[in-house]
Chain A
């Protein structure tokens, strides 16, 4: 399956994501600019982490207005769309996922290796953000919540205890902790592998329904 990684201006998480996908999936990975207007060739599309547009206004706010977001909306019926970290924030800002992110309770950047509940697994993933409190006023279905933090959000008490979720179609997903930083033999943990293998399964399933 062809996978696209969208390189948003100023974002910095594309390389390690590509390395993770090449290590743990059979995706054929391509990098595309955020000015891309046609995504119909790709079965799975990643919005990587890392300060797109310098986090101006709010993280994800500027990236959400780029041409590639219109292209994403056109393919979301059949492609699988995954935002990681800042990519999750972009999907919220674009209205493709519910809720949004506010600044950490400490007002500071915060990084921590956290335990995540995911399906029947407990994973060590890396939470790393300055705007990490996920807030949600709408109600969502239980099965839209994909991951939760074992000890609550590390970013503050206003946050929902949600680390990853999907939209009501299951095609658009946001994963806030970084699996790509904990999936290689040299990294602090390797549990991120489980996330990528699961993404590949979901993407194949979604493609089957096309």
Chain B
């Protein structure tokens, strides 16, 4: 028993599994499944595989209810990433993933390896990554630690992305005390592949080889999966080793090697999987379980960069940049040659077996001998109790205090909520690969599909304030906003991936947030025909003050039929008419205005999914008729902010008269767009909108003179654009 730190009896007595996040009840379940007491390595791998991060034991009942179907879906949830058909024998592969806990401790490496992990999920399926997107949340930028977390997380993503040559083409970053000390760092990657190149994470065919390719294994990230599922609270100094360090140069070679194997040697490649959370044990057991096969591994054959590693450590290490392949017997030599070409460590570490056992030998000693499915499929599933949040029971609509329009406009432009994201955007490589059509800063980023006229529009959205006030409606609004961003850019929404970031689900109200936000997402996904094809769950995000805002980030991908007919966000010429599409109501609950005036948020939300669909249809049809000069989704800050965003960074100004109160200029009613159309298309457009029964309001014109002239019912704003734009540009200090 050289390689077992303690025997099965000692495991039972010391309850060592508790340190790894496993409960006594879960331990008893393992004993029952095996009809014996598990050994040290065995219970170690169960505690990782049964963590929330790997098993989704707490969220599975919720995830099962997602709307996941559609003719465009080639692969739904369950694989490394989901796949959607884009026609012409091609498909896009995408998924969002969180790396919140590591980023709270070591933001540079945490963010970098988060991107590295999701890249591997995408290229392991045979897809070439074509775009990266990120969604970030931090506390307000009022203390050094928060500024450090923000700066370093951005730097981590920037460095890893630019060295991989994968452009960052969209994203969002928001700041709120709700995320103080508990930042959210989510990264999404979109890849492109031909249908025939789709590879899944399976290990089938008795005698076929399990091959390890990529970085050597060290002691980094052991029990990272368990750590990720725990709250990030207080002193984390002893958990530094649970954060992995990234190496993009190695990842680039691993990617090139995997894609060469899949594209040029598909006859020998059975399956490919990233060694992500819970490393080797998770990838190997999931691959075998997917094929209903057994597997035997020899952990002493795993390339290692530290001495005297135990099988427990080798199985659970989360060292980065490692892939596991299932290769037809006889194909080992080809894999070895490709590994040599890219100078990568490679080793045959096991094979597919008959039966259904997961067996691990280390230097001849059998240290794991359990049924495969008990690891991957038999994790407990918990139906958690929930309770409607108190705040929802007494929700009263917010009525804004009076203000001066000019002062308020300047003040809001200067908040971290609404200030220009340019200081962040310019730190990313947004144009590598040469296919970027629309860079970050618009409603959606767009990349060109090579050798075609098509493009892919990508956005990621979530307004945690709305989801906090009403999880179900907020969830619906999140999907709707993402779709509005795609539609405003001239795209047709295809599908979504969701990054479910929530607080501590032991809190009944937090579990309510998760359950009902997911329900809202699912309802809207079905109504908008954008199925959920992949996703990620990150729970227990909390700080001293409590749980974060529920933040289910929705990454959406849409198809652009012709990249030469993209609808820009910014106005295009003087004299064009400006309209707002959709109704503006008294929607101040959860608004930036409320946050600015009161420092907190409260109140009920209003949202009509049918209205949303109609408004989006109008814009889509206007796109098809090529009547739009520009279109922009209205979201945080409302109509006035949307108008300003349309003329900032252009050589134009605007002159509008709006039949609304000044407060209504900041109302955040959903389902609205602000558009510009050529003057001679006004009659056509108005007739068309009327026929569809859609509320459209003429506001005024784009002007040659760079002035902002806004007249509303009870105030006016008359200001050189330059002055407002300067405030907006400098509002984000980083």
Q: Across the interface, do A128 and B427 meet the contact criterion of CB distance under 8 Å?
A: no
Given contacts A186-B455, A186-B564, A187-B437, contact A109 B162 (CB under 8 A): yes
Question: Which of B159, B247, B431, B435 has the most chain A CB within a 10 Å cutoff?
Answer: B431
With a cutoff of 8 Å between Cβ atoms, the chain B residues found around residue A108 in the complex are: 154-155, 158, 427
Q: A111 vs B154: C-alpha distance in the bound complex, in angstroms?
A: 14
With a cutoff of 8 Å between Cβ atoms, the chain A residues found around residue B439 in the complex are: 188
Q: A178 vs B253: C-alpha distance in the bound complex, in angstroms?
A: 23
Q: Across the interface, do A109 and B158 meet the contact criterion of CB distance under 8 Å?
A: yes
Interface size class of A (residues with CB under 8 A): 20 to 34
Q: Across the interface, do A128 and B429 meet the contact criterion of CB distance under 8 Å?
A: yes
Q: Which of B154, B427, B437 contacts A110 (CB 8 A)?
A: B427
With a cutoff of 8 Å between Cβ atoms, the chain B residues found around residue A10 in the complex are: 163, 249, 252-253
Q: A53 vs B563: C-alpha distance in the bound complex, in angstroms?
A: 34
- Chain B residues 415 to 440 lying within 8 A of chain A, measured CB to CB, are 426-437, 439
- Chain B residues 334 to 364 lying within 8 A of chain A, measured CB to CB, are 342-343
B448 at the A/B interface (Cβ < 8 Å)?
Answer: yes
Q: Across the interface, do B437 and A186 meet the contact criterion of CB distance under 8 Å?
A: yes
Closest to A108 in B: B427
Binary flags per residue of A78-122, CB closer than 8 Å to B gives 1, else 0: 000000000000000000000000000000111110000000000
- Chain B residues 225 to 261 lying within 8 A of chain A, measured CB to CB, are 247-250, 252-253
Closest to A52 in B: B249
Q: A130 vs B158: C-alpha distance in the bound complex, in angstroms?
A: 10
Given contacts A10-B249, A128-B429, A186-B563, contact A19 B158 (CB under 8 A): no
Given contacts A109-B429, A187-B434, contact A54 B564 (CB under 8 A): no
Q: A9 vs B165: C-alpha distance in the bound complex, in angstroms?
A: 13
Closest to A188 in B: B439
Q: Across the interface, do A19 and B431 meet the contact criterion of CB distance under 8 Å?
A: no
Given contacts A10-B252, A13-B165, A54-B252, contact A188 B431 (CB under 8 A): yes
Q: A186 vs B562: C-alpha distance in the bound complex, in angstroms?
A: 10
With a cutoff of 8 Å between Cβ atoms, the chain A residues found around residue B455 in the complex are: 186
A181 at the A/B interface (Cβ < 8 Å)?
Answer: yes
B164 at the A/B interface (Cβ < 8 Å)?
Answer: yes
With a cutoff of 8 Å between Cβ atoms, the chain A residues found around residue B162 in the complex are: 51, 109, 128, 130
A207 at the A/B interface (Cβ < 8 Å)?
Answer: no
Q: Across the interface, do B163 and A55 meet the contact criterion of CB distance under 8 Å?
A: yes
A45 at the A/B interface (Cβ < 8 Å)?
Answer: no
Q: Which of B154, B155, B434 contacts A15 (CB 8 A)?
A: B434
With a cutoff of 8 Å between Cβ atoms, the chain B residues found around residue A60 in the complex are: none
With a cutoff of 8 Å between Cβ atoms, the chain B residues found around residue A187 in the complex are: 431, 434, 436-437
With a cutoff of 8 Å between Cβ atoms, the chain B residues found around residue A198 in the complex are: none
Closest to B566 in A: A186
Q: A76 vs B344: C-alpha distance in the bound complex, in angstroms?
A: 33
Q: A25 vs B427: C-alpha distance in the bound complex, in angstroms?
A: 32
Q: A187 vs B566: C-alpha distance in the bound complex, in angstroms?
A: 12
A20 at the A/B interface (Cβ < 8 Å)?
Answer: yes
With a cutoff of 8 Å between Cβ atoms, the chain A residues found around residue B343 in the complex are: 9
Q: A38 vs B158: C-alpha distance in the bound complex, in angstroms?
A: 36
Binary flags per residue of B437-465, CB closer than 8 Å to A gives 1, else 0: 10100000000101000010000000000
- Chain B residues 470 to 524 lying within 8 A of chain A, measured CB to CB, are none
A126 at the A/B interface (Cβ < 8 Å)?
Answer: yes
Closest chain B CB from A37 CB (angstroms): 17
Closest to A56 in B: B249
With a cutoff of 8 Å between Cβ atoms, the chain A residues found around residue B434 in the complex are: 15-16, 19-20, 180-181, 184, 187
Q: Across the interface, do A128 and B165 meet the contact criterion of CB distance under 8 Å?
A: no
A185 at the A/B interface (Cβ < 8 Å)?
Answer: yes
With a cutoff of 8 Å between Cβ atoms, the chain A residues found around residue B563 in the complex are: 186
Binary flags per residue of B197-208, CB closer than 8 Å to A gives 1, else 0: 000000000000
A204 at the A/B interface (Cβ < 8 Å)?
Answer: no
Q: Which of A50, A126, A185, A188 contacts B564 (CB 8 A)?
A: A185
Q: A117 vs B427: C-alpha distance in the bound complex, in angstroms?
A: 24
Q: A16 vs B166: C-alpha distance in the bound complex, in angstroms?
A: 12
Q: A126 vs B429: C-alpha distance in the bound complex, in angstroms?
A: 10
The 10 closest A-B pairs by CB, nearest first: A54-B249, A12-B165, A16-B434, A51-B163, A181-B431, A109-B158, A186-B448, A186-B437, A10-B249, A186-B563
**Other A-B pairs beyond A51-B252, A108-B158, A184-B434, 4, CB < 8 Å:** A10-B163, A128-B429, A130-B158, A186-B448
Show the binding face of A for B, using Cβ within 8 Å. 9-13, 15-16, 19-20, 50-51, 53-56, 108-112, 126, 128, 130, 178, 180-181, 184-188
Show the binding face of B for A, using Cβ within 8 Å. 154-155, 158-159, 162-165, 247-250, 252-253, 342-343, 426-437, 439, 448, 450, 455, 563-564
